[in-house]
Structure 1
Amino acid sequence: MKRILIVKVTSLGDIVETLPVVSDLRRAFPSAKIDWAADAAFADIIRWNPGVDRVLSAPLRKFKKARNWNDLKEIGASISELRAEKYDAIVDIHGVYKSAIIAFIARGKRRFGYLNQDLGERGAAFAYNARFGPRPHTDAWRGMRVSVAEALGYTFDETPDYNVRLPALAYSLDIPRDKRIAMLFHATSADVKKWPKEHWGEVGRWLVARGYTIALPWGTERERGEAQAIAAIVPGAIVLPKVTVEECAHWIQASELVVGTDTGLVHLAHAMQRRTVMLFAATSREHFGIDAPGRSVSVGDHGAPPDVPQVLAAIESATNGAPQAVSGSAETGAMLR
């Protein structure tokens, strides 16, 4: 196996959780060249993994929103770059039209995709001349690793290796290095994933009482207002200025703890081996959760958002360095307070 192409186009959390596939391939085929095709919005995160030789990116999301001629030209140039190499294996672990088109355009002997029943969009099946096996009965993230390993005939280490190496910044972010920072990722793209402001305030005050300084990131003006509302009820909380994903990653790196909703930046915190608690309200914890005993904990579930005692218990589990039961009982909440 001399050259392999990974196709995973979006989104932030999915891109982050695909990084262990690179490490798996690198161990199985040490001399292979590994390329990755993705949306330009997420290309830098892929470049943080030194196991990727070439990132092929195009501004697909940007063009869809703005229909800009320059973006269209960039997409055309990326197609030429994509077809400049011939691959021994193309693995589309996204399974929708846009990823299938990329897989089809790329030059390769075998183009692997999911079975029809496992595709995100059934019409994507046109692109493949080889298929992964049936989706394994496991979470989405391990499932990608199993699919690629079975298709290309190797085994992998169960402990995922994200291999995230942040580039140094040429300027200072003014991060308070003398404080124990806990980042609360309250913002999310979907309102159904949100957790009440009062709950964030209660968690923030509980953390402040234990010596943490709370940092509140945001992305939109609405989210900034929400961050300010939480800061108003959490003593000493810092509302961050608007930061890029790379700048946010440096804040994560400087933090002792990250608590947040099921969003890409919280997945990034887990990948960066920060102590992390992920809250679920509208998506499946079993399918999309994070888990590293004594370090990363998922709590809540689709249609069953966690209460404050559950989140406090999860924080205890993540920060004590040893796995503990996560309980939602009133008794547990009283104990943790």
Structure 2
Amino acid sequence: MNATKRPPLSPGDRVIGKWSRQEWTVQAQLGVGANGAVYSVRGTDGALYAMKVCDDVGAVAFEWGLLEQLNATGFAFPKPHCIDDSATHPALYFYVMEQIEGRPLDQIWKKLSSDDMKRVLLGVGYGLRALHKSQHAFCDVKPQNLLVDVQSNQCVRFVDVGGVTPFGRSVRQFTPTSDPAYWGFGERRACARYDIEAVALMVATLFEPVPQGLPQWPVERRQAWILRSIRGRHDKSVGALLEDAMRGRIDTADEFVRRLYALKLRPTGFPKRSAAKAQTRASRSAAAPGNGRRPAPSQPRPQQRSAKARKRSADWTERLMWWALTCAVISTAGAWAEYLR
């Protein structure tokens, strides 16, 4: 939902900074948040940037200050570029930052292997660990706010700084399905545990989409559904990690990373069934008797070799024995001749 009061910018629109006099040309809209929209823009230097546009100058100043602070403590969030007012659009306040390359997590999750899923979650853990050192929580954890660069070893970057909240304060922005309070697992208060719980809930709903009508369910029924979903996973270590995280048993991003590293995943540790397994089962079913097809002929066992093959083997063994005996006689005769000389 577009929370801005003004009509969106269109590709080709030019935004000129009132104070910096820098110029940017809008390429496309990247997304809409609770307090503004984000656009892909091209600067006069030819580079692409992301521009966050708001109607409220206070929101722009707040997010810009957070972005500068977070950039000094970690690498997960975009690098800030500049902040300004628009000279070409009245009452348009914006800041420009690095445009993050990658795709939202929900668009690629089911295409990832078990190892890649683990690598992505480790990237999320590292990003949260750096963020938490600044005494801030991400809070608005959702797949659309986590971009994965599949061309760069599943590198994970965070976007949308609008939900970042200092530890101890009430969460200002959140996504219900990633909110521990929505599921009855915890309070809606910013802390490291809140982010870890939110990540586990997000992963659980990436594995299995939430049913229709979930918002109308009582909290107890929601909780029972998501616990049943993760406990039914064939890899119990993954289910145990997710349950411990969403129940608040993992207090820090460091502990979350350590638990991820300790996972000994089978090739299909995250997905429920791989295509390879399905194909193997289908092949076995096709070869089974009684399905209208003849089973593939079995290979002959060693004891089922023909008499001709056994005879060839015996002849070769006999020739080898006589060759060895002849060599021994020649060697013995040579030794006696040398001794009697």
Same fold (TM over 0.5): no
Q: Larger radius of gyration, structure 1 or 2? A: 2
Q: Into which bin does the TM-score normalised by the smaller protein fall?
A: under 0.3
TM-score, with normalisation over the residues of structure 2? 0.26
